[in-house]
Amino acid sequence: MPQIYSAILAILLFFSVLPSQAETDITEKKSDQQQQLQSILRELDQATKQRQQQNVRLETLSRQLECNWTLIRAYETCGQLHGNNPDKHLKCSTEAKQNATQCLENNEEK
């Protein structure tokens, strides 16, 4: 009889260890998944910040391009209006350049 009790006790101990091992495995997997999720969230946050910076830069470049196109059109207009009069052409072109400079400076302030 003592052998039967010993065998039953051994079986009970064996089966009581199995659930704790399974719980340990589940806990380890959960911890690994949480670490992976945190890593992905950090990468996503970093990518979001980079995209926001790129969007700001894109907006700045777009406004600069608009200033430059305005200058080009103004130079063309000066040429059409004052092509035969160098003094008026120079005055018009200088004013266009000043306007473009002001446009670009206002762009930097934003």
**40 within a domain of the structure (yes/no):** no
Structure tokens at 33: 């998944």
| Residue 97 resides in a domain | yes
Instruction: Read off the pLDDT band of 21 (50, 70, 90).
Output: low
- The boundaries of the domain holding residue 66 are 58-110
Please report whether residue 109 resides in a domain. yes
> Token pair for residue 43?
């990468």
In a domain, residue 66? The reply is: yes
Q: Please check the confidence at residue 108 and state whether its pLDDT lies above 60.
A: yes
7 is a domain residue: no
DSSP letters, 41-96, are HHHHHHHHHHHHHHHHHHHHHHHHHHHHHHHHHHHHHHHHHHTT-HHHHHHHHHHH
Q: What is the pTM of this model?
A: 0.61
72 is a domain residue = yes
Quick: pLDDT tens for 38-79: 999 999 999 999 999 999 999 999 999 999 999 999 999 999
Show Cβ contacts of residue 75 under 8 Å, excluding neighbours closer than 6 positions. Answer: 93, 96
* Number of domains observed in the structure of the chain: 1
Residue 100 maps to a domain? yes
Residue recorded with tokens 């969230």? 41
Question: Is 20 inside a domain boundary?
Answer: no
